[in-house]
């Protein structure tokens, strides 16, 4: 597995913390903080699309 550069954890209410990371091969990773050895992996473009959709309110029904 390539070396992943992790961002600082993002923690919501109740200390549910997630981390986002990237590698030099164009992959993006999302993991629960402390469980970075089991990330969800996709392309950076897929991560960008996910973030755009969330910011546009497309996941508001999950709140």
Write out the chain's pLDDT in tens, 63 residues: 679 999 999 987 767 899 999 999 999 999 999 999 999 999 999 999 999 999 999 999 988
Buried b (16+ CB within 10 A) or exposed e, 7-26: eebeeeeeeeeebbbbeeee
What confidence score (pLDDT) does residue 1 get?
A: 64
Residue 50 burial (CB < 10 Å; 0-12/13-18/19+)?
A: middle
Could you tell me the CA-to-CA distances from 23 to 6, 42, 45, 53, 60 in Å, in that order? 9, 11, 13, 23, 29
What confidence score (pLDDT) does residue 13 get?
A: 73
**What pTM was estimated for this model as a whole?**
0.78
CA–CA gap between residue 55 and residue 22 (Å, rounded): 20
């Amino acid at each position: 597995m390539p070396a992943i550069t992790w961002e600082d954890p993002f923690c919501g209410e109740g200390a549910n913390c997630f981390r986002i990371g990237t590698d030099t091969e164009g992959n993006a990773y999302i993991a629960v903080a402390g469980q970075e050895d089991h990330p969800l992996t996709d392309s950076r473009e897929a991560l960008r699309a996910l973030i755009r959709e969330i910011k546009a309110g497309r996941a508001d029904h999950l709140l």
